Amino acid sequence: MLNRRKNGIIIRYSIIFQKGCFSLVPQAGESGNGELTFKVITFGCPVNQYESAAIESAMLERGFVKAKGRARINIINSCVVTGAAAAEARRVARKIKRDDPRALVVLCGCYPQVYYRELQQELPEVDIITGTRGRSALPGIISRYLKDEGSAPEVLVQEHGKNGGFEEMPPVSEYGRARPVVKIQEGCNEFCTYCIVRQARGKSRSLPAAKVLDQVRRLLEAGYREIVLAGNQLGLYGYDLGDHDLPWLIEEISNLPYDFRIRLNYVEPVNVTGRLLEVVAGNPRVCDHLYIPVQSCSDRVLKRMGRRYRAADFAAIVNRARELAPGISIWTDLIVGFPGEEESDHVTTMEIIRSLELAHLHVFPYSPRPGTPAARLADSVRPDVKRRRAEEMQELDRQLVYNYNRSMLGKELRVLVEKVELDGTDCFGEGYAGNYVRVKTLLKNNLPGGDQPGGHFVTVMVDAAHPHGVVGRQIL
């Protein structure tokens, strides 16, 4: 053992001989303020959620201690899709340092991958900057930084190469949620004019099927009941491997001998094939839910966005999905106030979305990302107009959600109960059905016992609907 002092804090190290040399590894568990606690703060999509869980597992494996409150080491896994997400990452980093000047702040993920040069100058509160590559090495990087008593920001961003493969991260030991994410694909091959994801993540790469199956099997053996398959352009899974595609992988996963279900993260319209719709509709293991981000239903706006489909193509996908799986829940993303969007474009999008009777909308006011073609467009929409259009679209979303929830009245739903509470002598469970409707149900006394991290399935008869979900009673 070796004790060293940094910023007034005593840190205990083990001396390890590995690969022909000695190294110092910080040991968690010191008394008082010296404890090497950490937390991972996550912004953004399910892909980021998976990566944060993997970073957390790597930190625990290295001997760091997960903090319940304030942490010595703060890892911010950031998002850059919107200006608001980037601004929130900056705010959190500054607050951590302001509250505790001794805290170590690490900024990783999509935001610094694209803008690390600017961040190095503008965000001195951050001690270590890394991007979307090499994050499995973070425990070692942090250990070295603490050992060397680093003072200047350390920038470790690696650019995405043309032929880079899928970068595997450490196995996830546990998730803080009942529906764990498995990242099976990363990167994007599209050239949307508003989007920074391709710069942040590189071209599409896929995790080999055998490794996907191994990760899913481990989670199922641990007791999880729903697996979310995620990627930046999920529908491209397997194209770079040249052997299998997403529908094939779903079928392979569904053959695993456990009681579970598969949920898909969003799939771009250009990647929704007839075969994928057939698998979603015909495989009982797959949730009756599709998340297809259309962004706009104005063909003129779609063309300016660089989207390779038109509104009629999206409508055809929705209608075909409903033919194969009546009652399927279909969600979408919508960007409001894109440069050059006229009132007629907004009205057209509202009318088409309303007519398609989607189940939920994620509405985003357009946020220019420096370095994208759209950020250079001169005909921006006035902030007050953008705000009003977003409010109208959000009101439409509330109507659609309520209508879809009401369509569940009198139906039986298989619900993954994630939370149980007692109310007097009654026991209530809350969770999600396969169609992603939130369900609260009166439970019978035969709910399986024991600690099951992934919850339990019950069958519920829906008796009432409200804007945020449905209420029912367990019948099986």
Q: Residues 68-122: pLDDT tens digits? A: 889 999 999 999 999 999 999 999 999 999 999 999 999 999 999 999 999 988 9
Q: List CB contacts of 202: < 8 A, sequence separation 6 or more.
A: 132, 160, 161, 164, 186, 187
Residues 282 and 390 in one domain: yes
Same domain, 243 and 120: no
Cα(134)–Cα(156) distance, integer angstroms: 9
Alpha-carbon gap, residue 381 to 102, rounded angstroms: 43
Q: Is the dihedral of CA 109, 113, 118, 121 positive or negative?
A: positive
Supply the CATH number for residue 267's domain.
3.80.30.20
Question: Are 429 and 398 found together in one domain?
Answer: no
Q: 257 and 397 share a domain?
A: yes
**The pLDDT of residue 17 is above 50:** no
User: Domain tally for the chain?
Assistant: 3
Q: Give yes or no: residues 334 and 465 share one domain.
A: no
Q: How far apart are CA 449 and CA 444, in angstroms?
A: 12
Average pLDDT, the chain: 90
Q: Is 273 exposed, middle or buried (0-12, 13-18, 19+ CB in 10 A)?
A: middle
The whole-angstrom separation of Cα 42 and Cα 142 is 18
Structure tokens at 109: 């993920």
Verify that 96 and 122 share a domain, yes or no: yes
Minimal CA–CA distance to 154: which of 103, 86, 92, 106?
106
235 and 381 co-located in one domain: yes
Q: Judge whether 8 lies within some domain.
A: no
Domain that holds residue 35: 28-155
Domain boundary, last residue among 120, 137, 155: 155
The answer to the question of residue 427 being in a domain is yes
Q: How confident is the model at residue 448 (pLDDT cuts 50, 70, 90)?
A: low
Alpha carbon distance, N-terminus to C-terminus of the chain? 57
* Rounded Cα distance, 72 and 36, in Å: 6
What pLDDT is stored for residue 150 in this prediction? 64
Among the candidates 383, 406, 429, a domain finishes at 406
Q: Summarize the confidence of residues 170-184 as an average pLDDT.
A: 87
Least confident of 24-38, 199-213, 324-338: 24-38
Instruction: Read off the pTM.
Output: 0.88
Residue 29 has pLDDT above 80, yes or no: no
pLDDT on residue 424: 82
Give, in order, the Cα–Cα distances in Å from 85 to each of 45, 90, 116, 118, 364. Answer: 11, 9, 15, 16, 12
